[in-house]
A = this chain, B = another copy of it.
Amino acid sequence: MILARIYVCLKPNVLDPQGKAVTNSLRQLGYASVAETRVSKYIEISFDTSNREQAKLETERICRDLLANPNTEHYSFTLEDKEGGKA
């Protein structure tokens, strides 16, 4: 079992309205030191295989073709071995 931890984040120069909304809420709640907030996706995929190379290749393809919008987002991921069974 291999676990892929995937981060899909907006590119730095893309406006993040959700993050902006969180920043504004926090300021109104009195958190004056909050400078900026960025909201992104964090996705965990469990692969039913022990072939790390295959998991890496598939994760790369999955990010490119399904999870991230290449126009506005970038992605990164790490892989780790996981004890068998469902997460």
A81 close to B (CB within 8 Å): no
For the residues of A in contact with B, the DSSP-based class is mixed
A62 close to B (CB within 8 Å): yes
Residues on B with C-beta less than 8 A from A42 are 7, 9, 39-42
A39-80 near B? 1/0 per residue, CB < 8 Å: 111111111110000110010001001110000000000000
* Complex Cα spacing A38 to B87, Å: 9
Count the A residues whose beta carbon is within 8 Å of the partner chain — how many?
A: 36
* A residues whose Cβ falls under 8 Å from a Cβ of B: 1, 7, 9, 12, 19, 22, 25-26, 29, 31, 33-49, 54-55, 58, 62, 65-67, 86-87
